[in-house]
Each structure stands twice: as C-alpha cells, then as structure tokens.
Structure 1
C-alpha cells in the first residue's frame, strides 16, 4: 500500500460526488478480462484485491482507488520474423517481389493470428484523492500511465477538470539553487546523495549516485552551467524521495517511525483493516509533505491559462 511514486494533479471544480455515488460510478467501469482479440484494457478493481468488494475506500477525506490494466505482450521481433518467413515463401512460389502493401497485409494477418496466443501482463495502479486539498496523486513512475488512469476516472465520472500540479518556482531552478547555495535550503530539508545534471547544450546528462552533493566536483559541474533535473531530497522525520524537473516525486521511502507506527497498530489480522490503516497513515503524511514541498518551491502557481493538459468533460 505504501506508494513508491507520485504524479500530482490539481482538481478544478472538483466533483461533488459522495462516496456512494463514486462507488457506483467506479463499479460501472469495473475491469473485465481481455477478450481474445483485444490488445489492452483498463478498468477499476478493488484496492484490497480478493479480500475486498469495494472499489472505493474513503477515510477522513482521503480516497483510495485502484485501476487494473492488462495488455498482451507480442514482441515486434516475433511478428517481423513470421512476416518475413511468409513473405519469402510467397516470393519464392510466385517468383516476384511483394509490394509494400502486400507485406503490410501479411503483417496485419500475423498480428491478428498471434495476438490471442500472446502472454498477458497485468498491472495495478493506485490513485489517492485528497478531497480536502482537491488534489490527486497517482502511484506510477510513468506520466503516460498516470494520464491513462485520469482518462479512466474522467470516463467514470462523466467530466474531470484537472491539471498537473505547478509551482511558482520551476523545480529545475530550485534544485540547482539548493545545490549551489546551501543557505537557500529550507531548514527541514535533507539533501540526499543522488543527482542528475543536464547541460544547456548538447553535452548530455550526467547521473551520479552515492556522492557528496556538496563536493567540489559537483560544484564545478554546476559552475559550468549544468542544472539539476533530478535531486534526492528528504523531509526530516517523514520521508525521502527523488524530485524530478516535472514535479514528479519518485523513489519514495517513508520514515522508519511511520512504518513502525503502522506495524504496531492492532488490525486483528484483518487484511482490510491493515490496508486502510496503512493508507490513512501514508495519506496523512503525504498530504503534509506535499504541502511542504510546494512551500519549498515558492507556493503553487496560480496561472492555469494554459489548458493543454486540462481534462474536460468526456465526449461520446
């Protein structure tokens, strides 16, 4: 249940659905197994797995939902090999070279034949909805997967107006400043030992782990014009993470004291109680931590005039 990554979004004109209405909406878009000819499908599943029947868990304003995505794994190399073999057989039999359109037709036929026999990969993705802060966070390392889950939520609700969380100070600028000027670091910030430095020109990206970020070597790279696009940070007494230049928060590691508090909670060996206990402790900690991160970055940006990433009402 403990999230590993966060893609953060701000809700605008948040839906007033209560938990009962939302449960019904999620159930209507529940996951169904892939059909034989389908390449992929996504739908809602129960966060507690087989132990639960609810699609929504809401605790003190924190909502937990889980999407299940399935896709068939059909490597392009397998398709290409079969296409080449069939094409060669036809060319030998008919003593001619196949046209591009003919090879494309063979490729489509091969794909249709092999797809039902391909392996199926399943992946669950959790979504945390903080109703008090009108914020959504999705536990995935991929922005594309996060947007896919938002599309599912929009389809379930009928409309959803949401933008990626943005701050007054760009993360890349703030992270670079924190590295070059220790005095600019917030008092409760812990500097980690991992960084990614981007060059302004075509000099590529430099990645370093388990290094002293205050070392002369790192400072010389920064003086040469490189900027921090990823930086390992910590919030004292709460968690450690890697901040990315798109405000994604990855590689989350929660403080031992919080994990110990969760472990000491009496759950009566009830898997559902354990999941909800862990979720609530995590959500409360993350809410405060995200608020603090936004403060570090100068507060939340208020200009949402660019609507490229806004999800509006679903259309049929």
Structure 2
C-alpha cells in the first residue's frame, strides 16, 4: 500500500461529491478486459484487489482510488519484419516497387492481424485525493501516466480542474542553495546521499549516488555553474525521498518507526482493515511532508483557476 512516487496536483473548485456518489460513478467506469482488437484500455478497479468490492476507500477526508490499465505489447520490430516480408513478396510477384501508401496499408493490415495475439501487460496505479488540503497525488514515476489517470477521473466526474502543484521558489534553485549553503537548510530537513547536477547552457548531466553531498567534489561541481535538478532529502522521523525539479517526489521510503506502527495495528488478519490502516498512516505522513516541502520552498505559488493548464483542466458537462 505504501506509495513509491508522487505527482502532486492542486485541485481548483473541487467537485462536491460525497463518498457514496463517488463510489457509484467509479463503478460505472469500472475496468473491463481488453477486446481482441483493442490496443489499450483503462478503468477503475478495487484498491484491495480480489479482497475487496469497494472502488473507493475514504478515511478522515483521505480518498484512495485505483486504476487498472491494460495494453497489448506489439514490438515495432516484429511489425516491421512482417511488413518487409510481405512487401518483398508482392514486389517480386508483381515486378514493381510498391508505393508508400501501399506499404502503409500493409503495415495497418499487419498490425490488425498481430494485435490480438500480442501479450497483454496490466498495471495498477493508485490515486490519493486529500479533500482537506485540496490535493490529488498519483503514485507513478511517469507524469504522462499521472495525467492519463487524471483524464480518467475527469471523465468519471464530468469535470475536473487541476494544475501541477507549484511553489514560490523553483525547486532547482532551492535545491542548489541547500547544497551550497548548509545554513539555508530547514532544521527538520535531512540531507540524503543522491544528487543530479545539470550544467547550464548544455545538456550535460552528472548523477551521483551514495555520496557525501557536502564533500569538496560536489561543491567544486556546483562552483562550475551546475544546478541540482534532483536531490535526495528526508523529513526527520517520517520519510525520505528524491525531489525533482518539477516538484515530483520519487523513491519514497518511510521511516521504520512509521512502518512498525502500522505493523503493530490490530487488523485481525483482515486485508481491508490492513489496507485502510496503512493508507491512513501513510497519508498522514505524506500530508505533513507536502506541507513542510512547500514551506521549505517558500510556500505554494498561487495560480488562479483562469490559468489552469488546458490539458489538465478541460471540463465537460
């Protein structure tokens, strides 16, 4: 249940929908298996898997939803090889070179024939909706996958206005300052041992793991106009993570004491109770961490709903 990554979004003019209504609309958009001619499909599934029937778990204003995505894996190399074989056979038989459109027609035909036989890959992605803070977070390392899930939620609700969470101070600037000036670090910040440094003016990137971030080597690199685009940090006694320059939080690991607290909770070997216990403890820690992270970055950047990204804020009726 413990999230590994967070793509964070600010919810604008959040839809007024209670848990019962939300459960209903989620079930109406429930996942159904791929048809033989479909390349991909996404829909809602039960967060507890086979152990549960609920599409929504809500505790103390914290909502958990899970999407299931399936896609058929058809390697481009396989399609290309088959197209080349068919093209060569036709050209040999007819004694002429095929036109571009004819080759495209063959490619489409090959794709349609091979697709039903392609392997199917399934992937679940969790979404956390903090109704108290007006935040939505998606547990994925990919911004594209996060926005795909938001599209599904928008379709489910009818409308949804969200923007990526933004701070007053750009993360790349703040992370660079924390590295170069130890005195600027908040008292509850724990420095990790991982960093990515980008060079100004070109695409050069240096990545280092299991290093002393206060070492002379790191400081010399920073003196040569490099900036921190990723930085391993922690909130003392709660969790550790890698902060990215787009404010994504990845590689989350929770403090042993927090995990132990969850393990000691009485669940009577009930999978649903365990899921909800872990989720509540996790979101309490994550909510506090998001609040502190925004404080470290000078507060949240205030963006009126009028500037909501059209890709993320399209409404439907």
Q: Same fold (TM over 0.5)?
A: yes
Residues 37 and 195 of structure 1: CA distance in aligned 2, closer, same or farther (over 3 Å): same
| Residue of structure 1 in register with 2:316 after alignment | 314
Contact 2:79 2:111 in 1 (8 A): yes
SS of the counterpart of 1:195?
A: strand
Point out where structure 2 has 5 or more consecutive residues left out of the alignment: none
Name the SS for the 1:69 alignment partner: strand
SS of the residue aligned with 1:303?
coil
- Assess if the C-alpha contact under 8 Å between 2:150 and 2:312 holds in 1: no
For structure 1, the residue ranges without an aligned partner over 5 or more in a row are none
Q: Shift in Å at residue 95 of structure 1?
A: 1.1
Mapping 1:298-309, distance limit 5 Å: 298-304=298-304, 306-308=307-309, 309=311
Q: CA deviation at 1:203?
A: 5.1
Structure 1-normalised TM-score? Answer: 0.98
Give 1:64's aligned residue. 64
Do the aligned partners of 2:147 and 2:312 also contact (CA within 8 Å) in 1? no
Aligned to 1:24: 24
Q: Secondary structure at the match of 1:187?
A: coil
**Aligned match of 2:268:** 268
Contact 2:11 2:135 in 1 (8 A): yes
What's the offset of the Cα at 1:312? 2.7
User: Taking structure 1 as reference, are residues 64 and 203 closer, same or farther at Cα in structure 2, changes over 3 Å only?
Assistant: closer
Q: Please say if 1:210 is aligned against 2:210.
A: yes
Deviations 1:252-311 (A, max 9, x none): 000000000000011000001000100000011111111000000000001345332541
Q: Compute the displacement of 1:201 (Å).
A: 1.6
Instruction: Name the SS of the counterpart of 1:263 in structure 2.
Output: helix
Match of 2:8 in 1: 8
Q: Distance in 1 between matches of 2:126 and 2:115?
A: 28
Report the Cα distance in structure 2 between the residues aligned to 1:192 and 1:283, rounded to whole angstroms. Answer: 22
Match of 2:227 in 1: 227
Q: How far apart are residue 202 of structure 1 and its match?
A: 1.8
Q: What is the rounded CA distance, in whole Å, between the counterparts of 1:260 and 1:169 in structure 2?
A: 35
Q: If the length of structure 2 is used for normalisation, what is the TM-score?
A: 0.98
1:99 is displaced (CA, Å) by 1.0
Superposition map of 1:145-294 within 5 A: 145-202=145-202, 204-294=204-294
Partners of 1:18 and 1:203 in 2: CA distance:
48
Q: How far apart, in 2, do the equivalents of 1:81 and 1:54 lie? A: 45
- Per-residue Cα deviation, 1:184-203 (whole angstroms, up to 9, x for no partner): 00000010110000011225
Q: CA deviation at 1:314?
A: 2.5
For 2:307 and 2:43, the matched residues in 1 are separated by 29
**Separation of aligned partners in 1, 2:227 and 2:125:** 32
Structure 1 position 96, deviation (Å): 1.0
Q: SS in structure 2 opposite 1:192?
A: strand
Give the whole-Å Cα distance in 2 for the aligned partners of 1:204 and 1:278: 41
User: C-alpha distance in 1, partners of 2:66/2:312?
Assistant: 22
Alignment RMSD, CA only?
0.9
